[in-house]
Amino acid sequence: MTTPIQAQTPVSTPPVPHGVGNPAGTPVVAPTRTKDKDGGASGGLGTFGVKSGLAQMLKGGVIMDVVNPEQARIAEEAGACAVMALERVPADIRAEGGVARMSDPSMIKQIVDAVTIPVMAKVRIGHFVEAQILQAIGIDYIDESEVLTPADEEHHINKHAFKVPFVCGARNLGEALRRISEGAAFIRTKGEAGTGNVVEAVRHQRSVMSEIRKASVMSEEELYTYAKEIQAPFHLLKETARLKRLPVVNFAAGGIATPADAALMMQLGCDGVFVGSGIFHSENPAKRARAIVQAVTHFNNPKILAEISEDLGPAMVGLTIDDNLKGGRLAGRGW
C-alpha cells in the first residue's frame, strides 16, 4: 500500500473490507472507540471491527422489511439473514404521507423476541436521540434512513459515538464515503424505496461501481482532485481505490420486487440486498421471500433463477418514477 506514484492495476484485491482486524497499521476507517459510553468494563465493545464485522456476516443475504412479529417469523423461515423492523413499509409511507418516524420501541422489541436473526430498525436522518433509544433497547443495527422524514437537513448522526452499528443509504461514491467517515459500518445504495421499480437502485449501484473503477486507475494527484470533486474524505477514497470496492459491505435497496431484480443487483456487484415493500406487498410473501433469498445465492445461475421465479403470484404493483411520483423522491434526502 506504499506505492503512491503509479496507479498500477493492483494484483489481487483483498476481499476483506477494511477496518476489520487491521493489524497492518493504518486505522483507515475511523477507529473511534466508544467503550466508555456506557461505562463498559470490557474494552473491546462496539469497535469498528465488530460493527463492520456483523455486516460481513450478512453478505450474500437478504434483509427484509417487516412490520410485525408474524412477518418477522415468515422472513426468518424464508432464510432472511436479518429483518428491518418498521411500522409502515415504504410503499405505505408513500401512500399515506405524513411524517414518518422511528417505530414504537415495544413493537420493535416484540420483533426482537420473535426471531433469532439480527434485527435492524430505522431512525430519521440526523435524529440521534432516536438512535440512542434504539441502542438502549439492544437493537442490532440502525438504518439512518431517507425513507423516514429527515430530522436534520444539514447533519447526519455522528455514528462513531454509538456502540450499535449503522447502515446508511448512498446514491454515489462521494455520499457513501461521507457516510463511512461519519461512522457508517455498512452502506446500501438507495434506489427509490416503496416503488417496486428497480431503475433507481440500478442507477445508484452503477454509479458507485463506475466511480470506484474510475478512482482505481487514478494517480495520487488525481485522487486529491477527485476527492474534492465528489466531496469525499481523501483517505477513504484512496483506500477504496486500492481495494477496488467500498471499504465496507455494500447492499442494494429500493425497488427490488422479484428474484430477477435481486440477482440483477448482485450481478452489478453488490454484496446482498434489502427488500422492503416487495415481499409483504406481494400475493405470496413466504414463497417470494424464499425465492429472493435463493436468487441472491444463485445470482449468476440463470437456470436456478428460472426455476425459483416460477409461480410466485403477482408481484407488488410498481410505480413509475417521475415528477408525479406519490410521496416524492426519497433518494434525494441525505446530504
Partner 1 sequence: MPQATSPSQDVTIGILGTQNRSLSAKRNWTYPASQPIALQGAFAEHQVMLQKLSLKKRVVIVLIRQPEDLDKCDALIIPGGESTTIALLARLAGLLEPIREFLKTKPVWGTCAGAILLAQWVENAKKGGQELLGGISVTVERNGFGSQVESFEAPLEVEGLRESNRPFHGIFIRAPVVVNLKPSPTDPPIQIISRISASLLPASQTVIPPDEDDTDPRDPRTIVALRQGLHLLTTFHPELTKDDRFHEYFVRECVLPTLGSRSSSPA
Chain contacts with partner 1 (rule: CB under 8 A): 12-17, 20-24, 41-42, 44-47, 49-51, 53-54, 56-61, 73, 76-77, 79-82, 112, 114-118, 135, 138-141, 163-165, 212-213, 243-245, 266-267, 269-271, 293-294, 296-301
Give yes or no for a contact between 108 and 143, defined as CB atoms under 8 angstroms apart: no
Which residues have C-beta within 8 Å of that of residue 114, sequence separation ≥ 6? 69, 72, 73, 76
Distance CA 167, CA 165 (A): 7
| DSSP string covering 256-273 | --SHHHHHHHHHTT-SEE
User: Residue 132 CB, nearest distance to partner 1 (Å)?
Assistant: 12
Structural element, H or E, at residue 82? strand 82-85
User: Residue 245 CB, nearest distance to partner 1 (Å)?
Assistant: 4
**Residue closer to partner 1, measured from CB, 100 or 241:** 241
**Residue closer to partner 1, measured from CB, 63 or 330:** 63
Query: Which value, in Å, is the radius of gyration of the alpha carbons in the chain?
Result: 19
User: Residue 52 CB, nearest distance to partner 1 (Å)?
Assistant: 9
User: Residue 149 CB, nearest distance to partner 1 (Å)?
Assistant: 26
**Residue closer to partner 1, measured from CB, 135 or 149:** 135
Is 287 one of the catalytic residues? no
**Residue closer to partner 1, measured from CB, 180 or 293:** 293
Q: Name the β-bridge partners of 62.
A: 273
Distance CA 222, CA 229 (A): 10
The identity of residue 166, as a single letter, is F
Out of 37, 59, 109, 122, which one is annotated catalytic?
122
* Enzyme catalytic residues: 122
